Structure 1
Amino acid sequence: MSLLVINARLITIPTGSDDPGYIERGWMRVEDGRIAGIGAGDPGDATADEVLDVDGAFVAPGFVSSHSHLFTSGLRGLGVADTLYGWCDSMLGMTAHATPEDVYWSTLHGALDFLGNGVTTAYNFTDPQQAWESMVDGKRVGDAPLRGTEYHTRQADGCLDSGIRFVDSIGMDVTAGTDDEIFARFEASVAHTRAMDPDFALGASIMGQVQWSPRPEAAEIEVEAMRRFGVTNQAHFLESPEAVPLQQSKFALYRDAGALGEGMMFGHFIQTTPEIIEQAAAGGASMSWQPASNGRLASGTALVPEMIAMGMKVGIGLDDQACTDVSDPWQNMRMGIAMQRARTKDPLSMMPELVLRLHTLGSAEIMGVADRVGSLEVGKFADFVVVDPRRPDVGPLWHPVRSYVLSMSLRNLLGVYVGGELVSRAGESTNPLAAEASARIHADLPAVAERRGRHPH
């Protein structure tokens, strides 16, 4: 099947350039789910099975979230008076009592929510097999029970069934079992993901848990798994303003284990020092920035411009629906701009063109999937959003790309396409499972609360 998009304000985000690749009146041809041609003006002799005339609307890459927890979609509004660990007690204290089917439907609901809001690819942290337990002195005891491999695999199934593209991030839970058992458990989860359609399951990764693990060998085990199974790793690291010296001391565990390379991502990376940033950047590690989440949880503001200046690659994630509440990438970008400018007192420290690149191609780059997603370029998947600046009308587009970042919102989002196929129209999913996913989380999550014996607040 082929699709021809015409009369578009194209924003392409080309690889290897700081230019946003804006074309005032452009066209794009899609064939078998991938971009086959792109250009300015009239497409000439180009033909297709279907023509989509967007009549002057923006057509831009689908957003890429480099840090997400899609299973949290039914847990919004919790832990509002708490920082990270208290919020986790409220939110993950619920999922500690969830079943594989509960978490399947929650993940499916979360992935459909992302798609409806223009996010076509996500790095997805699955809820680990080892249930959540409260932090004590900045770490977990690590003796909570395991819930079985199916608890992970059903979350991967939920992503696949939604139609989102995803990197599947899996916790190793290194305090549960012998080392052989830990590696065997992880291998089984990776094998499940790699058996899926590779056009959607874009890869497997480790949910780095060194930050809160009581086991001193946790970093070595994760690095061994990276090498043995050929996977990347993203660690929640230096996020919370609590127990900062303890958090910072654990950076050496990753450094000394040889983790600091292109496959290593640090999520949040807020409570840093100049030395930590310098060593991480020099080693080739990247970071994922979650502006809305960092503000909601009172975590702080990452030194993103400084990291970029030191050569560190940066992507942007929406994090949990439970800590961004509305998974809106435009809100996320604007909060990032505002937070950095307020911190630096310099408007040039975060410009709209940069933050857009970070939430698309930049995220794809740190996830290792930029050859397939993150920009509108020939050969890549045709994942794009259609955004109309006249519905509602925002006035003259003096600088179209900056207006796209600063003035657009979910109310302007007309359609979301994955592989050239419409997956959401004005926020309404085309997925046949959408209604059931909504019904299930409204029924199942109160049942989880009942099993828990108390309201999540």
Structure 2
Amino acid sequence: MAGNTGFIFGNALVITIDSERRVIADGAVAVIGDTIVGVGKTDQIRTDFPDLPVHDYSHHIISPGLIDTHVHLSQAMFRALGERNASSDSFHDWLYRLVLPMEGTMTPEDGAASASLCILEMLKSGTTSFLESMTSSNHGFDGIAQVCVDSGIRAALGKVVMDVPPAYRDRVGWPLSAWFEPDQGIAETLAAHKQWNGAANGRIQVWFGCRTADESANPELYRRVAAEARDRDMHLTIHHSELESDNEYARSQGYRSHMDYGYQLGLLGPRSVLTHCTAADSEDIALLASTGTSVANCPANNATVAWGPTRVVEMLEAGVNVALGCDGTASDANMDLLRDLRVLCQVARTRGKSRNSLRAETALEMATIHGARALGIADQVGSLEVGKKADLITIDTDVPHLSPIWNPVASLVFAAQGSDVHTVVIDGKIVVKAREILTMDEAAIIADVKRRMPDIRQRADVPAATPRWRTL
């Protein structure tokens, strides 16, 4: 595949997610430069593009690359750490006594190391695009953006903005290192947008990453950010309607619900991605639909922390664009979006008490074309169609748990796992081949993270960071 200037992946089962939702047996995808130029039967594609080298992907499924619409890059350093704090069901305990102290002690070098680990895991398990929710100032935005550029991944980077009064900060023990003035956050976001938005052939976006609109926050921040985003054609993302306590707070301020509160603040709209929304009711869902707001559903994370399921089926039926996210490894423990596809279906079917509540086909749409819509790039990625960017993955089905293939979509959703991903192509460039990452030094990244872990633990001095069982 010398030069990656053009190639055909052939002899595969191709799941297109195109407008006809074609699944092509003995199918092929032809790529020239960064663009898909042909999708169809292998013999026809070879005839149409006789000068392109053909690479045999027999016993593979070819799918659009997966899109993760809710990621915390910094938490890759804290994998499964939340389980040590599970003696308390309080979200605020988890946030203020564990996560923020750990994130607050991180340096820009730590931030780049954690981002590298997270992106490495995402790429090797088939995620080709992602939305980072809140890149913190102390984690070094420039270094993280450069990791995204060099790795080859497609990234929307939400830069954190907040307006938390010092009195609240001090009362809850919010670490000063993880607390920032609103003017600082907005100015840094706009500077990052100017420098990085559109970088790497358009692979990099810069968004506003707002902290939750709860009792800790000055509501004027959201009105200001919403206006900035609207005036500059920028996007924003925010954790919203996460818990019933969010509704209680909003009602105390005179609003019907937290979703209504967000709407009045200007946070809803086609350039917004709201995460979780587990506390959204029917009226909230109608509001999401009418405003064209996207939702990032994180089923595995929400099940892990016992928040209860998002009303995904009702949202989809109402016309809401619902996409999929892994969230952060401090709770969900891994960034394997393939794994979360089946968790998504299992949670929705358990809630609906029906196998037909959420079909495998819908789940895969949520992880591909719905994610592309949420990121505002559905005209570029999310399906395998002529003229779109060549973002695709191949799944090696020559393994026991994927044999035999009766229904390739169902097999991908319910049986595949990240380690089955063989090849990853982004923007026409091969970044993973034969399960080997080509754009990152995997061994060096893992060694670097392991080297940094003791220092971060010592600086943070968080009791919950120690194992529950005694380690000899």
Taking structure 2 as the reference length, the TM-score comes to 0.86
Question: What are the ranges of 5 or more consecutive residues in structure 1 without an aligned counterpart?
Answer: 130-146
Matches within 5 A, 1:9-24: 9-14=13-18, 17=19, 19-24=20-25
C-alpha separation in 2, matches of 1:386 and 1:178: 45
1:87 maps to 94
Matches within 5 A, 1:316-327: 316-327=324-335
1:243 CA drift (Å): 5.4
Contact 1:241 1:299 in 2 (8 A): no
1:258 maps to 266
1:206 maps to a residue whose letter is: F
1:356 CA drift (Å): 0.3
Residue 161 of structure 2 is aligned to residue 172 of structure 1: yes
Residue 31 of structure 2 is aligned to residue 30 of structure 1: yes
Match of 1:413 among 421, 433, 438: 421
Contact 1:235 1:267 in 2 (8 A): yes
1:178 CA drift (Å): 7.3
2:142 maps to a residue whose letter is: T
Kindly provide the CA deviation profile for residues 51-110 of structure 1, in whole angstroms up to 9, marking residues without a partner as x. 210113111111011111122212111111155433334233212101111101111111
Matches within 5 A, 1:199-218: 199-201=202-204, 203-212=205-214, 213-218=216-221
- Give secondary structure in 1 for the equivalent of 2:223: helix
Pair 415,282 (structure 1): closer, same or farther in 2 beyond 3 Å: same
1:87 maps to a residue whose letter is: W
Residue 48 of structure 2 is aligned to residue 39 of structure 1: no
Contact 2:63 2:393 in 1 (8 A): yes
Match of 2:62 among 52, 59, 62: 59
Residue 240 of structure 2 is aligned to residue 240 of structure 1: no
C-alpha separation in 2, matches of 1:407 and 1:323: 23
Match of 2:78 among 75, 80, 88: 75
- Give secondary structure in 2 for the equivalent of 1:74: helix
Which moved further from structure 2: 80-89 or 380-389?
80-89
Residue 345 of structure 2 is aligned to residue 342 of structure 1: no
Pair 454,44 (structure 1): closer, same or farther in 2 beyond 3 Å: closer
1:224 CA drift (Å): 1.5
Q: Matched residues, percent identical?
A: 26
Match of 2:106 among 80, 98, 102: 98
Kindly provide the CA deviation profile for residues 166-204 of structure 1, in whole angstroms up to 9, marking residues without a partner as x. 111111223478765554232112223226224321x22
Give the helix-richer structure, 1 or 2.
Answer: 2
Which moved further from structure 2: 72-81 or 410-419?
410-419
1:41 CA drift (Å): 3.9
2:381 maps to 373
Pair 44,77 (structure 1): closer, same or farther in 2 beyond 3 Å: closer
Question: What are the ranges of 5 or more consecutive residues in structure 2 without an aligned counterpart?
Answer: 165-178, 252-256, 467-472
Match of 1:7 among 1, 8, 11: 11
2:175 maps to none
1:442 CA drift (Å): 1.0
- Give secondary structure in 2 for the equivalent of 1:348: coil
Contact 1:168 1:193 in 2 (8 A): no
2:144 maps to a residue whose letter is: Q
1:21 maps to a residue whose letter is: R
Contact 1:414 1:425 in 2 (8 A): yes
1:69 maps to a residue whose letter is: H
- Give secondary structure in 1 for the equivalent of 2:8: strand
Pair 177,5 (structure 1): closer, same or farther in 2 beyond 3 Å: closer
Residue 180 of structure 2 is aligned to residue 191 of structure 1: no
Pair 21,71 (structure 1): closer, same or farther in 2 beyond 3 Å: farther
2:167 maps to none
Which moved further from structure 2: 358-367 or 227-236?
227-236
C-alpha separation in 1, matches of 2:92 and 2:426: 36
Instruction: Please provide the CA RMSD for this pair.
Output: 2.2
1:252 CA drift (Å): 3.2
1:244 CA drift (Å): 4.5
1:134 maps to none
Residue 391 of structure 2 is aligned to residue 383 of structure 1: yes
2:222 maps to 219
1:273 maps to 281
